[in-house]
Structure 1
Amino acid sequence: MSARPESADRTSATLDTAHTGDIVGALGTIRTHEDGRRKSVWQRLRALLVIMGPGLIVMVGDNDAGGVATYTQAGQNYGMALLWTLALLVPVLYVNQEMVVRLGAVTGVGHAKLIFNRFGKFWGAFSVGDLFVVNALTIVTEFIGVDYALSYFGLPTWVSVPLAAVLLFAVVAGGSFRRWERFLFCLVALNVLIFPMALMAHPKPGVIAAGLVPQFPGGLNSTLLLLIVAIVGTTVAPWQLFFQQSNVVDKRITPRWIRYERADLWIGIVVVMLGAIALMSVTAFGLGGTEAAGQFTDAGAVADALREHAGPGVGGLFAILLLDASLIGANAVGLATTYTLGDVLGKRHSLHWKPSQAPMFYVAYAALIGFAAAVVLIPGAPLGLITQGVQALAGVLLPAASVFLVLLCNDKAVLGPWVNSTRQNIVSGAIVWALVLLSLSLTAATLFPDLSTEALQTFFLVGGVIGVLGGLLIAVSRNTAARRAAARTACELGGLDTDQVADLQDERRSLAEQDRMSWRTPALETLSRPVMSPLRRAGLLTLRVYLVVAVVLVVVKVVQLALG
């Protein structure tokens, strides 16, 4: 990596002068000298409106072209029977994204920079290499969505795709974070159309509620597992980790505003879940009982089928929403990639810079968008299968991204008083393990297509027991350490009465909270790198080998589907 760019403060980890200063959002400004204390409801609401953005955009970007295709595929082929997967993903979304919020606000640098600095170039390349490949393919799916959406209204591919590429670059290259965020907010606002669209398909609340019960329609096989992994991959994609952390940094959010960014994240999660349910229900009820039921091919065919069976209004709204989702997704995924490239190369990477001030950032974005658009223009490309395959790849690669995330959030040199608590580690560990089990099950079902539903259920049960035992072991070790620390404190305060001890502990808690609000990561080059134990190194190497195998098998499964 190249040398550290100019920074406003050489004692902090912040890389770029554009990442320090006032918080300039779409809906207002918060000055650098302002603290996070807000007394009135209006003051708190105003602060939330200014801070709001990274969480909302990353979540709505989650319902991108691939998301629209995956959710409508689930509804068209299985009705509302897979709705339970979305409910289980809510805690996954919050836990993963909340960790990157803390990393971004406390460190002031992007996710890739932290991985390279704390784990070295080998593991950094491991993490970022996968991201670049999957992100490039994901942007291809966004242009596939643009093509399908505008084809519905009669616009040919050779016009719609280049036009969208030019628009996306023009929005990013304005050299103004505020203008970019306002444009994204306008696109986000269009998502309100998803609710009348779903209502026009006449959904049945009882059927929707029944979908919250875990079930495997048709039995647990590799085809169903591929779709479940695709739902996970499109709902909790690796690019989201890199985008939100870098966007928090680019918006200049610091620890004193973390609680507002957490609220922003929750708003985004609610929006994305309601949207996903609406997309699943529009095909489940709009196409249920017709010859199109169970015959998903791609999002373009969904729009045509909805026009035929649910009416032109539903089909038209679906095409508009598909276009909107594609533009948001391409913008966010493209920025996640170029933010990461700036981290890796040590170059300016901020929407506050104009193209002449950060040429690498904008040239890379243009090249990425241009590549994805060119792929979609290739005649005869299997666009529907590319979309499903990319979402499944994202689901398979997510455990590796989550492992590095948890390791960084336990790095006290990086996060200081903001490191994960024992509870957070147990929850995040359970999530990572569940993702690994899901990925392993897809691998097993692809290798051994005759595996029965009972065998796969047994696999999940045994894996769950192993996960619970591992969590209990972590909890016991952490509690033991906490008791030892409490014993040392009791010895230090042995000469004080109960009230004095309580007062002293309250004072320490108050000072600790003040320290949390002002604590920022020191310059990364001043920190000693954590020691990589043999066990951790072996675990990461095993994960790397497995991911290579799993990715190959996903490709094999997609090819099998293509060949019928």
Structure 2
Amino acid sequence: MHPIASEPRPSVPTRMLRIAWQRLKEHPLRHVGPGLITGVADDDPSGIATYSQAGAQFGLNMLWTMPLAFPLMAAIQLMCAHIGRVTGKGLAANIKEAFPPYVLQIAVFLLVIANTLNIAADVAAMGEVAELVSGINRHTMTLAFVLLTLGLQIFVPYHRYVWFLKWLTLSLLAYVAVLFTVHVPWGDVAARSLWPHIAFDTTTATVVVGVFGTTISPYLFFWQASEEVEDMRNHNNAKSLLQNENAARGELDRISWDTWSGMFYSDITAYFIILATAVTLNVAGVTDIETAAQAASALRPLAGEFTYLLFALGILGVGLIGVPVLAGSAAYALSEAMDWQWGLERKAKDARGFYGVIAVSVLVGLVIQYSPINPMRALFWSAVINGVVAVPLMAVIIVLACRKSVMGKYTEKMPIVVLGWIGTLVMGAAAIMMFIPS
């Protein structure tokens, strides 16, 4: 992405500071969108369970994973956003045009399976937490959440639905608030964030794999690229940047602000979840956490009712974002692969295949609750599939973002490309470690 030659531009740090100040002076949610929602969706109930396990089992010694993950996840998501906004097409459509058919077919097939299993684990966690808070049967609450998320996605137009999602992102602040209710040894926190005291054995490797696999996930790649296209269409049918170069500067600045801030919000929240469980559960000797609901329950006698409620309500809030993003990303990918009409702004009758995928993936996730399949076991296989898919998919994204035939003069900048390849190597190592016997 090259600046317009006739207009000299200030340094990148200066520009980013100016943009940040301008955004803060305006409505806080007006200039954020796909990046923020994608970031929060990354901290879904399944992710909260993974981060809680890391904090409970290893205490402060897993905090280092989040500072390392932040630039890597931001770089790959930034490339996805650029691909969507520059070309005016989602990730699947670009892969379809640039690579052999089997590349997209395999990726979409595995994505749909992994997302459905992840949805099952997420709605199970939401039902469990709702039962803890309200006393209403978990299956009843799970059904209620499924109907709510489906109803919002299918019957509410995108421009209104995205407003609802933006406000839900505030639910992550619950995990910041938790830290004000417990004692935190900030000196040790700072030290362990940079230099952990751990033996890197198979058990440690498994948790590290889980943390990175949860943080950098394929469904987020498809979602953010497609959401940029949705946003573009929603703004008076705006054209892609390849067709409208005059909009490039403002749009690329917006995407940078949106993506970096959204990923930071996601990453710092995950950091706080690990920290909160480390200074409560780990200190009390509670080291085995399988679900987000278990983490909330374990906090209750240790940190008090208020902390427990904050943690639980945060799970419900991010679940209402995570489930639609999981279902929506599968629908975007499959619809583009099949050349179906798609988009959350379209009515159901005009995009039946797209909404059909959303409905089926969520309903199958619900059915798993009533089957012999253990949702947490399903989550394990979802993580395995995501780990397998993420590595080649990240390589494909980097190739697309660097290709002039795809991006024109807006090919990706070298620092972002380098971070992307580092992230790919990290995820590749994580994927390999998943298959090493313990």
TM-score bracket for the superposition, by shorter chain length: 0.7 to 0.9
Quick check: 350-359 or 51-60, which moved more?
A: 350-359
The answer as to whether partners of 2:51 and 2:211 remain within 8 angstroms in 1 is yes
Whether 2:295 is the aligned partner of 1:302: answer yes
* CA apart distance, 1:241: 0.6
Q: Which residue of 2 aligns with 1:276?
A: 270
Change (3 A) 1:43 1:58: closer
Q: Which residue of 2 aligns with 1:259?
A: 253
- TM-score of the superposition, structure 1-length normalised? 0.68
Change (3 A) 1:75 1:422: closer
Q: Which residue of 1 aligns with 2:432?
A: 440
Q: Which residue of 1 aligns with 2:409?
A: 417
Distance 1:43 1:127 in 2: 37
Quick check: 45-54 or 355-364, which moved more?
A: 45-54
Q: Which residue of 2 aligns with 1:83?
A: 63
Aligned residue among 129, 134, 141 for 1:160:
141
**Higher relative contact order at CA 8 Å, sep ≥6: structure 1 or structure 2?**
2
Q: Which residue of 1 aligns with 2:8?
A: none
The answer as to whether partners of 1:198 and 1:279 remain within 8 angstroms in 2 is no
List per-residue Cα deviations over 1:276-299 (Å, max 9, x = no partner): 12211221112233242x222322
List per-residue Cα deviations over 1:494-523 (Å, max 9, x = no partner): xxxxxxxxxxxxxxxxxxxxxxxxxxxxxx
Distance 1:48 1:285 in 2: 32
SS where residue 61 of structure 1 aligns? helix
* CA apart distance, 1:214: 4.5
Q: Which residue of 1 aligns with 2:89?
A: 109
Matches within 5 A, 1:11-90: 49-90=29-70
SS where residue 350 of structure 2 aligns? coil
SS where residue 409 of structure 1 aligns? helix
Aligned residue among 94, 99, 112 for 2:79:
99
Distance 2:391 2:197 in 1: 23
- One-letter code of the match for 2:277? T
Matches within 5 A, 1:502-541: none
* CA apart distance, 1:421: 3.9
Which one has the largest radius of gyration?
1
Whether 2:126 is the aligned partner of 1:146: answer yes
List per-residue Cα deviations over 1:182-211 (Å, max 9, x = no partner): 111221122222222222122221222122
SS where residue 145 of structure 1 aligns? helix
List per-residue Cα deviations over 1:357-390 (Å, max 9, x = no partner): 22222122111110101112335x4334443553
SS where residue 109 of structure 1 aligns? coil
Gaps of 5+ in 1: 1-37, 450-564
* CA apart distance, 1:110: 0.9
- One-letter code of the match for 1:387? L
Whether 2:419 is the aligned partner of 1:391: answer no
Q: Which residue of 1 aligns with 2:103?
A: 123
- TM-score of the superposition, structure 2-length normalised? 0.87
* CA apart distance, 1:65: 0.8
Gaps of 5+ in 2: 1-17, 233-237, 242-247
* CA apart distance, 1:93: 1.2
Q: Which residue of 1 aligns with 2:395?
A: 403
Change (3 A) 1:106 1:331: same
Q: Which residue of 2 aligns with 1:324?
A: 317
Aligned residue among 416, 424, 430 for 2:422:
430
Matches within 5 A, 1:356-367: 356-367=349-360
* CA apart distance, 1:434: 2.7
Q: Which residue of 2 aligns with 1:471?
A: none
Quick check: 243-252 or 333-342, which moved more?
A: 333-342
Change (3 A) 1:388 1:72: farther
Q: Give the helix-richer structure, 1 or 2.
A: 2
Distance 1:332 1:419 in 2: 27
Q: Which residue of 2 aligns with 1:343?
A: 336
* CA apart distance, 1:334: 0.9
Aligned residue among 355, 362, 365 for 2:348:
355
- One-letter code of the match for 1:397? V
Distance 1:98 1:40 in 2: 17
Quick check: 310-319 or 334-343, which moved more?
A: 310-319
Distance 1:345 1:392 in 2: 26
* CA apart distance, 1:221: 2.7
The answer as to whether partners of 1:226 and 1:392 remain within 8 angstroms in 2 is no
List per-residue Cα deviations over 1:393-448 (Å, max 9, x = no partner): 423432111011011112211111111344443332232223222322343x32xx
Distance 1:391 1:193 in 2: 26
List per-residue Cα deviations over 1:126-180 (Å, max 9, x = no partner): 2222211211111112112212211212221220111111100111112411111
* CA apart distance, 1:42: 5.6
For this pair of structures, how many residues does the alignment match?
406
SS where residue 42 of structure 2 aligns? coil
- One-letter code of the match for 1:174? F
Change (3 A) 1:300 1:117: same
Matches within 5 A, 1:150-229: 150-153=130-133, 154-215=135-196, 217=198, 219-229=199-209
Quick check: 104-113 or 390-399, which moved more?
A: 390-399
Q: Which residue of 2 aligns with 1:285?
A: 279
The answer as to whether partners of 1:230 and 1:392 remain within 8 angstroms in 2 is no
Distance 2:319 2:156 in 1: 22
Distance 2:414 2:256 in 1: 19
SS where residue 251 of structure 1 aligns? helix
